[in-house]
Structure formats: structure tokens, C-alpha cells
Structure 1
Amino acid sequence: MERDQRGLAERRRDAVRMDIAAAAAKLFIADGFDATSVEDIAQGAGISVRTFYRHCEAKEDTLTPVLTSGIRDFAGYLAARPADESVAVAVHEAFVECLRQDRYAEFVSTRDLFVILTSVAGIRARWMVAAHDLADDMRTHLAERAGLDPAGIEARLLSHTLIGALTVALEYWVTCDPDDPAGPADVGQLAESALSVLRLDVGQSTRNA
């Protein structure tokens, strides 16, 4: 019984945090980050300011639930890819699937979300921390897929380089004019280009040498 109660409390906490994230994202897009107050976010989420501060230390923390759930989704899609896929293909397909699901479309578009993540310094810093943590979490899986020692420098470089490439692709994507026919078709295309530049087959060749 105690374990069930804790589970319920955790679900309620996550639901409140996601309500805060939804309200904050809508307000940041409509009014701008600086013009949006904690009081505005609390009102939009249907909670008190006191409740807001029980879940977030500052405005910059409001989108953290979106970041962490997105990371979990990406890691899950990557782990589910066929074992015989190359690292580059598996990472690209997991990334595209994560974007295709667009699980927060009801309150923010993918492009608008990444505009916020890249343009607000405090939120971007939290995104970078989350990306670093994701690289560490992915290292064992990627090492196994690439035939590398999970504790070795090669696996560490591989995981962080991959996440860095995807991060740059997302940051570049939001600077492109979506109506420009000469621009990238979508962020998945950009990610594929970014990963191809890394020449990930070198790691495979080294393993088989």
C-alpha cells in the first residue's frame, strides 16, 4: 500500500510539473520570457505561486519536465532499434522518431520549443546539462552497438559527439527560415547531415582492424 501511495504522489507531482511547463511554454511564446512572471505562469497552470515554488526554483526550471521526458523518449527509441543497425543509422532513426511523435504538440510546436531552449540563456544552460547527462546515459548502449569498451575514452567521445551533433542540428534548424525552399527540408535531414560529417564508420573500422 505504501508503495502505491508513493507512486500516486509521484504521478501527481509529474502532472503538476507538466501543467507548469505547458503554461510557461505558451506564455514564453506569446509574451516573451522576460515579460512573463512567475505569477503569470502559476495562474496559467491553475496553481498558487507557493505551489509553483514547490516544483520550480525559477522560471528557467519550468521546461525541465519536457527536457527530461524527451531524453527518456530518445533513449528508449534508440535502445529499441535493431541490434544490427550502425550507430549512425540507429541514432538518426531514434531522433527522427522522437520528433515524429511530437508529444507536446497540444501546447507547443517542436520548432517553438527549441526556439525557447536556444534563445533563453538560463533554459539553454539546463538543456546543455540534460544533453550531457543523456550522453552519459547512452554511453553503455552505444558502446555495445559499436563494439567499444563502455569505460573507455572512445565510448565517451562517441556518445558526447553524437549528442553534440544533434544539438547543433537543432540549434541550426531554428535559425532557418521554414519558408525558404533552399533550406533544409526538416530537422531530420539536418541531423542526418550532421551525423554523416562525423564519419562514424571509422569506429567500426577500428574495431574490425
Structure 2
Amino acid sequence: MSSQPSPAPEAPALSLTERRKAATQLDIARAAAELFTQYGPDGTTAEDIARRAGVALRTFYRYFRNKQDAVGPLLAAGGDHWRALLAATEPGTALPKALERAVREALSAPDAHAAERLEQTRTLLRAAVDDPALRAVWYRVNQESEEHLIPVVARLAGTGADPLETRLTAAAATDAIRIALETWAATDAAADGPGSPAELAVRCLRQLMGGLCPLPADGEN
């Protein structure tokens, strides 16, 4: 695959209405995650979430089908962040290195705020084990993330890239992060260091992509 990506296309600017909608959805998602952490999905109602978010119940249902669906924007935020990191990769960087760097940075916990976000994800993934509706939201978020990742990978791979290989790369990278987070969530490992999401995701990425293209060894730039 070519390692000379073209410049990333500029994303269209959101309108004021779209920004307000996204902000409201994220406020509701945070409220839902907080309540799920405190009381679990079974102990939380849509009314509870709307009240915590400071919105009317009809506003809640304007954006979300059910209480589990409400955490979707929060779970999707991580994927948005790592795709943005990948899209901003310096031109000329080999795709395998770009993927690994983006994964490491997106799942690292350099401060308390980042660690708190990961812990919140862990709580939601643990709850999803026994909640099919919440698990369905998690799988949907990952599927959408994979679809959004394909054009980013295609740009970095270059004009001569095989579309099938591009799609497989996007699937492998998405699954590496999903499996790493699910594995970490089932443990009590810290958000950084051995057994952390970043460490596990790099391991998964190297295993899943080994047949596509060689990944850098530890310590390589």
C-alpha cells in the first residue's frame, strides 16, 4: 500500500442548531452514564435520566429510543477521538505505525480526567454483559465507527490500495479497540500500564493485522 496520503478533507462545519443538538445529546448521555454507574440500568428510568440532564422527557425521546440508547454518544466519543487522531497523521507515515500511534494516544490515561472516562466506559461495559439492550448499543457504536473509519484508512493507504484490504484494516483496528476495552473491563487493571486499554489494544492490533502488513516492534517510531 502507498504511504503517501493526500491531505485530509475538511469536515463541514456544523450549524448552530446541530451543535446545540449534539450538546444536548451529550448532556443526556453523561446523565445516563452517571445514573447507570450509581444504580445500574435496571435501577434507572428514562424519567430519571431526563431529570438529571435537566430536559423534558419528550426531549429525551426526541433523541433516544430508550434509556440504554442514551449512552450511545458517550460510547461513540472515543471512536470519534481516535479517528480524528488517525486523520491528523503526518503525511508520509506508514499506515501500520499511524494506526498504532492513534490507538495508543486515544486509549492512554495521561490525567485523572482521561482515567475517569475510561472507568466510566468500564462500568458501562460491565453492565452490558447482563443487559442485551445496552450491549446492542455498544455493538452498534462499533459498527458505525468501523464504517466511518474506512475512508480515513483509504486516504492513508493511498490511491493504489485494495478496497478489500482497506475494509479489513478498518475492521481489524475497530475490533482491536473493542476487544481490548471489553477485556480490560472484565478486570481490575488500571487505566494505564500493564493490562490497560492502550496496552491491550496494541496487542490486539498486532495480532489481527499481522497478516495484512507488518506492525512496528516495541520502541520503533
Aligned residues between the structures: 196
Specify the alignment match of 2:6 in structure 1: none
SS in 1 for 2:213: helix
Gaps of 5+ in 1: 1-5, 205-209
Partner SS for 1:163: helix
- 2:202 maps to 192
1:39 lines up with 2:50 in the alignment: no
CA RMSD of aligned residues (A): 3.0
- What do the CA deviations read for 1:86-120 (whole angstroms, capped 9, x no partner)? 333212221232234789949x5312223313532
- Per the alignment, residue 10 of structure 2 pairs with none
Corresponding position: 1:139 with 2:150: yes
Inter-partner Cα distance in structure 2 for 1:123 and 1:102: 28
User: Does the alignment pair 1:79 with 2:87?
Assistant: yes
CA–CA separation in structure 2 for the residues paired with 1:149 and 1:57: 42
1:124 is aligned to 135
- Quote how far apart the aligned CAs of 1:169 are: 0.8
Residue 30, structure 1, aligned to residue 38, structure 2 = yes
Structure with higher RCO (Cα < 8 A, 6+ apart): 2
Moved more, 24-33 or 192-201: 192-201
Deviations 1:161-195 (A, max 9, x none): 2211221111101112227xxx9342111111112
Question: Matched residue of 1:63: which SS?
Answer: helix
Distance apart, 1:45 and its partner CA? 0.8
Runs of at least 5 residues in structure 2 that lack an aligned partner in the other structure:
1-13, 215-221
* Corresponding position: 1:56 with 2:64: yes
Tell me what 1:156 maps to.
Answer: 167
SS in structure 1 at match of 2:47: helix
Q: Aligned residues: percent identity?
A: 31
Matching residue within 106, 111, 125 for 2:119: 111
Change (3 A) 1:13 1:45: same
* Pairwise CA distance, 1:148: 7.2
Residues 88 and 196, structure 1, Cα contact 8 Å, conserved in 2: no
Report the counterpart of residue 73 of structure 2 in structure 1.
65
**TM norm structure 2:** 0.75
Greater fraction of residues in helix: 1
CA separation of 1:117/1:148 partners in 2, compared to 1, >3 Å: closer, same or farther? Answer: farther
